[in-house]
Amino acid sequence: MSKRQHYTVTGGAGFLGSRLCEKLLEQGHEVLCVDNFYTGQKSNIIKMMDSPYFEMMRHDITFPLYLETDNIFNLACPASPIHYQFDPVQTTKTSVHGAINVLGLAKRVKAKIFQASTSEVYGDPACHPQKEDYWGNVNPIGPRACYDEGKRCAETLFFDYHRQHKLRIKVARIFNTYGPRMAVNDGRVVSNFIVQALKNDPITLYGDGLQTRSFCYIDDLIDAFLKIMDTDDSFTGPVNLGNPREFTIRQLAEIIIEMIGSSSKIVFKPLPENDPCQRSPDITLAQKTIDWTPSTPLEEGLKPTIAYFENILSK
């Protein structure tokens, strides 16, 4: 085990954050979860509450926070389109004011700080697959902009605090990730399709379903978070994290229907505005820097994810 350190995880009650908190505790660290339960849930962290090394602070990071810590993972932000578009002003505030506050905190306590950025900084990409040096194609005034531009501005702040105040930063651009603890109602494609298939309800395919995404299993992603935090201080990112295997959304629907043995039929719905046509990461940088390649094939990662939703729906 590495030496016990103190980690603060903002957004620690969410899908990715709660898994990260568990992994940090397993490694013998102390963890403070900072979350306002905007999209996160107590059930995600309840098991950790028994640990003397885990602490929970209910707090909205758009307001300053004063505490002592060695490392910060900044994950707080609603991540699914229906959640981040519910209150778009709050979404931008969380990314931008939130970043200023956690960066101010990191500066005061000299903590290393990780930013959960996103493939959405590439927008509807004009080059494929996306590499870190691509600057993106984002509509700054569209319905996704509160999230995309908020995250872009957060990256700017991270790099300016690094250049101006010598902060130790790690910026990861995360591509679509799935797994147990995704919220049933968050509207993302994997959770929607699994829930619809389990209920034998129609599968809602937006557009022609030929748009592509790549899907990374949560445990692979969290492995990469931990490895990135351990890179030497000269490595700042941004670094793409995702599974490069690309699927059309229609293929995803077919795989899920077959795995569940569902009688659901596909129905076509309008494609949401500014929905990217193609997305897949070039992960050469992550492979070189942290020797990381996701190892869980989609069909394997879907098994525990389906089991998770089955359990939730049976309650």
243 binds ligand NAD (CB under 6 A): no
CB of residue 16 to ligand UDP, shortest distance in Å: 14
What residues have CB less than 8 Å from 44, skipping those under 6 apart? 13, 14, 15, 17, 18, 181
The CA-to-CA distance between both ends of the chain, in Å, stands at 38
Count of chain residues binding ligand NAD (CB under 6 A)? 28
Rounded to whole angstroms, the Cα distance separating 63 from 98 reads: 7
**From the DSSP assignment, how many helices (H) and strands (E) are in the chain?**
9, 13
Length of the chain: 315
Within 93-122, which residues bind ligand NAD (CB under 6 A)?
94, 98, 116, 118
- The residue (of 104 and 143) whose beta carbon lies closer to ligand UDP is 104
Out of ligand UDP, ligand NAD, none, which partner does residue 26 contact, by CB within 5 to 8 A per kind? none
Catalytic residue among 38, 122, 147, 178: 147
CB neighbourhood size of 61 (10 A): 24
Q: Which two tokens stand for residue 26?
A: 């397993």
174 binds ligand NAD (CB under 6 A): yes
- The residue (of 13 and 216) whose beta carbon lies closer to ligand UDP is 216
- The residue (of 134 and 206) whose beta carbon lies closer to ligand UDP is 206
Out of ligand NAD, ligand UDP, none, which partner does residue 242 contact, by CB within 5 to 8 A per kind? none
Beta bridge partners of 177: 216
CB of residue 200 to ligand NAD, shortest distance in Å: 26
Residue type, 76: A
Is the CB of residue 249 less than 8 Å from the CB of residue 280? no
Is the CB of residue 268 less than 8 Å from the CB of residue 209? yes
Please give the angle made by the CA atoms of 96, 99 and 101, to the nearest 5 degrees. Answer: 110
CB of residue 53 to ligand UDP, shortest distance in Å: 22
Which residues of the chain form contacts with ligand UDP (CB under 6 A)? 64-66, 80-81, 100-101, 104-105, 107-108, 176, 188-189, 192, 204-206, 211, 213, 249, 271-272, 275
Where do contacts with ligand NAD occur on this chain (CB under 6 A)? 10-11, 13-17, 35-40, 60-62, 75-79, 94, 98, 116, 118, 174, 176-177
Active-site annotation, residues? 147
